[in-house]
Amino acid sequence: MGGDHAPDEIVKGAIEAAPHLHHSVLLVGDPDRIATLLPTPCPSNLSIHPASQVVEMHEKPLEALRKKKDSSMAVGVDLVKRGEAHVFVSAGNTGAASAASLLSWRQMHGFHRPAIASEIPNYHGKFLLLDAGASPDVDPEHLVEFALMGRAYATQVMGKVEPKVHLLNIGEEEGKGSSFAKQAYALLARHAWFAGNIEGKDMFAKPCDIVVCDAFVGNIVLKTSEGVAELIMKLVKEQVPSNPLAKLPYLPLKKVFAPLRKRMDYAEIGGSPLLGLNHLCIICHGRSSSRAIMNALLLAQRTLDHELLESLRTSVEQELNFIS
């Protein structure tokens, strides 16, 4: 029930995903509203679970969760906690989804802060940025934890082999940046998988697998990247004349720009997992379209199929053994 276009686009996305899923989807929210959006016959792997309240996008997360015990957000998270569901997917209030997941599921042993891991396109394919919005106030050692999360996700879900980790910084050289960045560098440098600092511009131009930073920086990077991508596509579109006859010479370019548009569209990824907790939450854009929701559900399925949680547990156990 959360998001700018809920529940219509959410339900539509679930319907589009249904034929590609070998798992079931519980649509949590107002049964009457959801039922009117489902086709007849309804896909056998879609069902409705009732929730009478909604956490609105403008509400303060903790206050809303405290007052709305039967919100679709609280009910969905609780279904996962009770083992009646395995992944929670939400396009609602990001702060509320993160807070509800953290308070209900708690941190996985060895991880002290959750992190949102976002796949971002670059010239060489995709890299993983974390934290993209969950934990703005962290200590340098938490970036090592983010690196472990990122390596597990990049290996299991993105198919990267022996992924390397960069630290986002204002320069490539060791010793650059704030005291926080210097301390984080020293901790990360103990590991063979650490590839040093990387500047913001180089994330998009050079090969890189994983980039770590705190959520304040990461969320600004994520939203700035999305804004620049949308600006580029808008400027390109404006160069094509609106007159049908004048437009004819540009038609061949549609085949050129179609793959580019798809590669830069956030909806093609769908959502970003919240990592470091005992269960999985997929965070989607508030403005998610049905296509974004469909891809978020497919991402949720991949995390289950590739046993991401087990991989995260293994990675942190190895780190704890490394430290001791």
Confidence of residue 176 (pLDDT cuts 50, 70, 90): very high
**CA dihedral sign, ordered 4, 225, 258, 299:** negative
> How confident is the model over 97-122, as a mean pLDDT?
94
41 CB neighbour count, 10 Å cutoff? 6
pLDDT for 60? 92
The answer, yes or no, to whether residue 225 has pLDDT greater than 80, is yes
pLDDT for 261? 65
> How confident is the model over 207-226, as a mean pLDDT?
94
pTM (global) more than 0.95: no
| Rg value, the chain, Cα | 21
305 CB neighbour count, 10 Å cutoff? 12
The answer, yes or no, to whether residue 324 has pLDDT greater than 80, is no
The answer, yes or no, to whether residue 248 has pLDDT greater than 80, is no
**Spatial contact of 281 and 98, defined as CB atoms under 8 Å apart:** yes
The answer, yes or no, to whether residue 45 has pLDDT greater than 70, is yes
- Rounded CA-CA distance 160/253 in Å is 32
Share the mean pLDDT of the chain. Answer: 92
CA 39 to chain centre: 29
**Spatial contact of 101 and 254, defined as CB atoms under 8 Å apart:** no
Q: Which of 36-40, 100-104, 255-259 has the lowest mean pLDDT?
A: 255-259
pLDDT for 271? 93
The tens digit of pLDDT for each residue in 278-301 reads 999 999 999 999 999 999 999 999
> How confident is the model over 2-20, as a mean pLDDT?
95
The answer, yes or no, to whether residue 321 has pLDDT greater than 90, is no
Query: Mapping DSSP to helix (H, G, I), strand (E, B) and coil, where does residue 55 land?
Result: coil
pLDDT for 323? 67
What tokens does 209 get? 């697998």
Q: Where are the beta strands (DSSP E) in 132-233?
A: 165-168, 194-198, 210-212
Confidence of residue 256 (pLDDT cuts 50, 70, 90): low
Q: Which residues contact residue 88 at a Cβ distance below 8 angstroms, ignoring those fewer than 6 apart?
A: 76, 77, 79, 80, 97, 101, 279, 280, 281, 282
pLDDT for 269? 82
pLDDT for 257? 64
The answer, yes or no, to whether residue 178 has pLDDT greater than 90, is yes
Q: Which residues contact residue 273 at a Cβ distance below 8 angstroms, ignoring those fewer than 6 apart?
A: 116, 117, 153, 280, 281, 282, 283, 299, 303, 308
pLDDT for 260? 61
Vertex 157: Cα angle to 153 and 161 (nearest 5): 80
pLDDT for 140? 96
Question: For residue 79, which amino acid is it?
Answer: L
Q: Which of 97-101, 128-132, 200-204, 250-254 has the lowest mean pLDDT?
A: 250-254
Quote the DSSP letter at residue 277. B
Share of the chain above pLDDT 90, in %: 77
Residues in the chain: 324
pLDDT for 179? 96
Confidence of residue 241 (pLDDT cuts 50, 70, 90): confident
Q: Which of 37-46, 188-197, 199-208, 252-261 has the lowest mean pLDDT?
A: 252-261
